[in-house]
Amino acid sequence: MTRNIIITMAVIIALCSCGKKSPNNTKTMDTTTKDSIPTSSALYMLVGTYTAKDSKGIYVYKFDTETGESEPVSMTEVTDPSYLAISKDEKFVYSVTESDKNTDAANAFSFDKQSGKLTLINSQPTDGKAPCYLTIDRENKHVITANYNGGSITVFNVNEDGSLAPQKELHKFEGKGVDKDRQTQPHLHCVHFSPDEQYLFADDLGTDKIHRFKVNKMDNGSYLQAMNPESVKITDGEGPRHLEFHPNGKWAYLITEMGGKIFAFNYKDGDLKEFQSIVADTLQAKGSADIHITPDGRFLYASNRLKGDGLTIFSINQDNGTLTRLSNQTTGAHPRNFIITPNGKYLLVACRDSDKIQVFEINKETGFLVDTKKDVKLSMPVCIKFASL
């Protein structure tokens, strides 16, 4: 009789424990399937999502860089983790919680490489609405968010355990652009370190500027120090969105959301000197989004949304950095973000409104893309990152 009572109490305790949530309404769930991808060619693929429909947060997969196959590993619940950054030692993962409420935050997770699971460490408010992008320095000492509706960027110190300290700096911007609907205030969309991490650039869709900062690594004042001049002016009404540096570090490329163009710059010591602009979105849908370059530096891709959703493919002149338009590749609906595998073999597109990640194989001679039909089904994917296994 006593033994039965003990067993019953143990079951009740176990059931109660299953309903207990982690801090900040995050929760880790195991979705592990049978391991069929060989370790020799596998990477972890981390996917940030919007959680308005069926998605619950950040999803981790194994991705085979030789075959394009993938399999689920784990999921961690967190609200609207629409952009991710991984520390250089890959022990920690950081995400935004992109909202336009008082829940806007940057979140820190530990990353267990053995299990492929994320565990929430802590969260800190950004004090800037709708953080949509974040980055981390190579030393794993600072995380910076771009706050779209806050018109600001937020700097956090990173503690030894990977956790985020309370806000260190909040840089607010002023002004507006010529578009009376979409440029009534600053809209920060991207923060990007220079290749040597001596400088940081912040793309402002609302004022058609790229703000420039000198990075102070001495911890004897502000981490980000405004330069003179403080910004690079882009053509009115373009809406700067994402910036990408060429592997050689000499050229930088900016995609503009509203103008649908790529601006090419010569880069040196914090200075950006424009030498070309070329159309990426011929339909003028005002929805261009992401930009990436192949590891060999030969091809550049730009995503376009709202009309004719897909990628525009450019070749890069290896002598002077100029772009030549090659072709378009149709994708699923709303290709907000995409990524290229480190070996340059695959390009994966997060198609938010088609609820899938498309896997394309890259022709390394022509830059053209072939749909492998190995889609990853997932509700509202918006950001993809890779980590070693």
**Which of helix, strand or coil describes residue 57?**
strand
Question: Distance (Å, rounded) from C-alpha 365 to C-alpha 351?
Answer: 26
pLDDT value at residue 101: 79
Coil, strand, or helix at residue 4?
helix
Residue (of 295, 359, 308, 290) closest to 82 by Cα position:
290
Placement of tokens 């935050």 in the chain? 105
The amino acid at residue 264 is: A
Residue 138: the pLDDT is 96
Q: What is the DSSP code (8-state) at residue 25?
A: G
Provide φ and ψ at 41, rounded to 5°. -120, 15
- Per the CB < 8 A criterion, the answer to whether 156 and 147 are in contact is no
Angle at 355 between CA 353 and CA 360, to 5 degrees: 100
Pair 188, 203: CB distance under 8 Å: yes
pLDDT of residue 143: 98
Res 13: pLDDT? 33
Q: Single out the residue of 87, 43, 84 nearest to residue 63, CA to CA.
A: 43
d(CA 13, CA 20): 11
What pLDDT score was predicted for residue 30? Answer: 59
Q: What is the mean pLDDT of each run of 10 residues along the chain (389 residues)?
A: 38 32 48 72 98 97 98 98 98 95 93 98 97 97 98 98 97 98 98 98 98 92 96 98 98 98 98 98 98 98 98 98 98 98 98 98 98 98 97
- Cβ neighbours of 190 (radius 10 Å): 27
**pLDDT for 25:** 45
Look up tokens 């990007």; give the residue: 192
Whether residue 132 contacts residue 106, with contact meaning beta carbons closer than 8 Å, is answered with no
Flag whether the pTM goes above 0.85. Answer: yes
Q: What is the pLDDT of residue 99?
A: 86
